[in-house]
């Protein structure tokens, strides 16, 4: 509809939450009119650390869903790891230290793990939005006949956490659903 008016259109969803937005380190996932993408490169570079031109409209949104699906499943696995460590008599802090030193080291575990161990979930990306993105990624998978069993399992955990009243908490509050399931 925008193009029918003679205007150009560019979608530019981002990868990153509150802190990256404040720090100007967002990742832009742009799609649509390539000339417009080139024209707004300067402002995007000021607001972010990277930008990608992904082709036709819809590809930016789809990339965000794929990225957020992985982020959500990783967080679910971290929650299960923390819960199992605790139930096994291991210190969650020790688990986080081991994870930080090996092949599983990643910024999300380093950022979210310590607050999860304290069962605190300061909101950067609300759990209800993470669940929505996983659901939409599952729908995208269905459109392309791509099964997503791990994402489907993670979605169930996010639904449980949301139903427990964690919807407005950070998506790391999925730990509450994992802990509840282990009771």
Nearest Cα residue to 52 out of 19, 23, 17, 16: 16
Assess whether 64 carries a catalytic annotation: yes
Rounded CA gap, 171 and 71, in Å? 10
Token pair, residue 94, equals: 């020790």
**Stretch (H or E) spanning 158:** helix 149-161
Residue 84's Cβ-side half-sphere holds a number of Cα atoms within 13 Å equal to 7
Q: Which of 18, 19, 38, 64 is catalytic?
A: 64
Token pair, residue 137, equals: 């990624």
**Residues annotated as catalytic (active site), given as ranges:** 64
């Amino acid at each position: 509809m925008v193009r029918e008016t003679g205007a150009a259109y560019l979608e530019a969803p981002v990868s990153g939450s509150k802190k990256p937005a404040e720090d100007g380190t967002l990742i832009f996932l742009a799609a649509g009119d390539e000339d417009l993408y080139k024209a707004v490169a300067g402002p995007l570079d000021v607001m972010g650390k990277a930008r990608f031109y992904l082709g036709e409209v819809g590809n930016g949104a789809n990339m965000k869903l794929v990225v957020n699906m992985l982020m959500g499943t990783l967080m679910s696995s971290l929650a299960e790891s923390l819960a199992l460590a605790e139930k096994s008599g291991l210190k969650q802090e020790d688990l986080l230290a081991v994870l930080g030193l090996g092949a599983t080291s990643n910024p999300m575990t380093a950022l979210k793990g310590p607050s999860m161990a304290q069962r605190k979930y300061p909101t950067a990306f609300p759990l209800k939005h993470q669940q929505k993105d996983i659901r939409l990624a599952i729908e995208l998978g269905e459109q392309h006949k791509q099964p997503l069993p791990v994402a489907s399992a993670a979605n169930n955990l996010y639904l449980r956490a949301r139903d427990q009243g964690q919807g407005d908490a950070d998506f790391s509050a999925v730990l509450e659903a994992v802990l509840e399931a282990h009771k």
